[in-house]
Amino acid sequence: MRADTERTIAAILEAAERVLSANPAATMEQIAAAAGVARTTVHRRFATRDALVAALTAWAARKFHDAVVSARADTTPPLVALYQVTANVLRVKIGWRYAMNAAAPDDPETARIHADVLLQCAALFERARDAGLLRPDVDLEWARRTYYALIHEASEARAGADEDVDRLATLVVDTLLRGVGTEGRPLAT
């Protein structure tokens, strides 16, 4: 029975992502219909719409965490890890767009997940600097925040398009490491 319950919850959450991405004001009844279950089944699992959205964002946070962990950024060469983390995260952000952009619930587990991702990303950026991918004097906090912004913009600008995630990941990593300017030219003052 537990596996059946887990499948039902997964179906509801996946349907909620699809329906809410298309219509953020969608009802629980519309989500139930998309999941192929009765409205009462959705209400039995999630007492309110807010509870459903909180579960959806927590589930997406776990997928986000898994995307980062699966890249094995602590043991993979930094350039490969940076690319793999980028591609994995883009897949989650594009596939779970509504949940990833919804306000994070006040859930200690979700906060712990995001804190762990932050630590892993910080360690990856230190490894990238130590490997010579980033300048030795780079502000790692600024570089990391810039990286997050690049991923966000790539996922927002390309969501819904038939964009190749691998190409997007390459574009993000290339922009982070090489920028968009011409190397060797002095800045105008």
Over residues 132-180, the pLDDT tens digits come to 999 999 999 999 999 999 999 998 876 555 568 999 999 999 999 998 7
**Mean pLDDT of the region 120-141:** 95
Q: What is the pLDDT of residue 110?
A: 84
Q: What is the pLDDT of residue 157?
A: 76
Q: Where in the chain is the domain with CATH 1.10.10?
A: 1-47
> Where is average pLDDT lowest: 7-11, 99-103, 123-127, 180-184?
180-184
Specify the CATH class of 54-178 in words.
Answer: mainly alpha
Q: Cite the DSSP H helix spans in the chain.
A: 2-22, 28-35, 39-45, 49-69, 78-95, 97-101, 108-130, 140-158, 165-178
Question: pLDDT of 18-59, one tens digit each?
Answer: 999 999 999 999 999 999 999 999 999 999 999 999 999 999
Long-range Cβ contact pairs of 85-89 (< 8 A, separation 24 or more)? 85/121, 85/124, 86/151, 86/169, 86/172, 86/173, 87/165, 87/166, 87/168, 87/169, 89/64, 89/151
Q: Where in the chain is the domain with CATH 1.10.357?
A: 54-178
CATH 1.10.3470 fits 1-47, yes or no: no
